[in-house]
Structure 1
Amino acid sequence: MSVKTSLNTFKKMNDKIYPKLSANDRFKMVIKTFVNGDEVQRKKLVKSCPMVNYYEPDNAFTARMEASRDIVTVFVIQLLEYDKKISIMKILNEFNCKELEPNAEFRVVNEVQAFLLAFETFCEDHLGIELQDMIQAWYG
C-alpha cells in the first residue's frame, strides 16, 4: 500500500469518525493537537464538529437581567461600605475620639442620601422600576 493510499484511507476514516466523536473526546483530541502542534488535525476536528441550533431567551432580555443584578449588587456593596464608615464613626464617637473632623458624620449622611437619590432616579427614570422593587427582586 502506497503512502498516498494510506493517507487517503486515514482521511476517509477521519471523515467518518470525527463527526461521531463525543464532545469530551473531541475536546481531548483538540487539546492534544495544540500540544503536538498539529494545526491540520485541529482544523479537521473543529470543522467536523456537529452543528446544532440552540434556543434561548432573547439576548436583550437576558443582558438586561444580568446587568440589573450586577448594578444592584454594586449598589448593595456601596451601601455596606457606607454602613461600615458610619459604624466606625459611631465607635469613635463612643470613645470621644478627637480625630473625627467636625461635621464628618453629617457629610457621610449627605453622601448616602445623594447616593440613594441617584440610584432611585436611575431605577425610575431609566428602568421604569421603583428602587425598593429593584432591590427586593435581587436581594429580597
Structure 2
Amino acid sequence: MKSISTALACLALLVAPILGAPTAPLIEVQKSAGEAKQGSYIVKLKDHVVKTNHLSWLSQHLGASSAVTHAEWDTDFLHGFAGTFSTVALNALRASPDVEYIEEDGVMSINSVVAQFKSLRSSPNSEVALVGEPLLEATL
C-alpha cells in the first residue's frame, strides 16, 4: 500500500509541472470594421517566415471544415494568406510564433451607378449632347 501511495505522489509531482506549464499567449484576432465573412480570416506572417514551410505545418492542423483559400499572394502585396479555419486551426495559428497578426476577412461594398449612352450628337451651337437612353446601368 505504501508503494502505491509513493508511486501516486511521484506521479503527481511529475504531472503537475506539465499541466501547470505556462502556455504562449494566443494572438488576438483583429475584428473587421464592418461586416465579416463568418469563419474567414487573413493571416499575416512575420517577414522572416518561409510561407511554404508554414503552410506545410498548417496542413497538419486543418480539418475538413478548414481550407487555405488565398495562398498565392505576392509578398509585396501581403506576406501571408487567407482561409476559412475551424476553431482548432485558428487557435493553432494564434499560437504560432510565425504569425504576425490575424484579422477577420471583412466584406466591403461600394454603391455607384454607371451609365453608358448610345451616342453623342453635336447640337447646332457646337455643343455635344447626349442622345438616347442609358445602355447599361449598374450598381457596384
Relative to the length of structure 1, the TM-score reads 0.24
Which of structures 1 and 2 has the bigger CA Rg?
Answer: 1
Relative to the length of structure 2, the TM-score reads 0.24
> When you count strand as a share of all residues, which structure comes out higher?
2
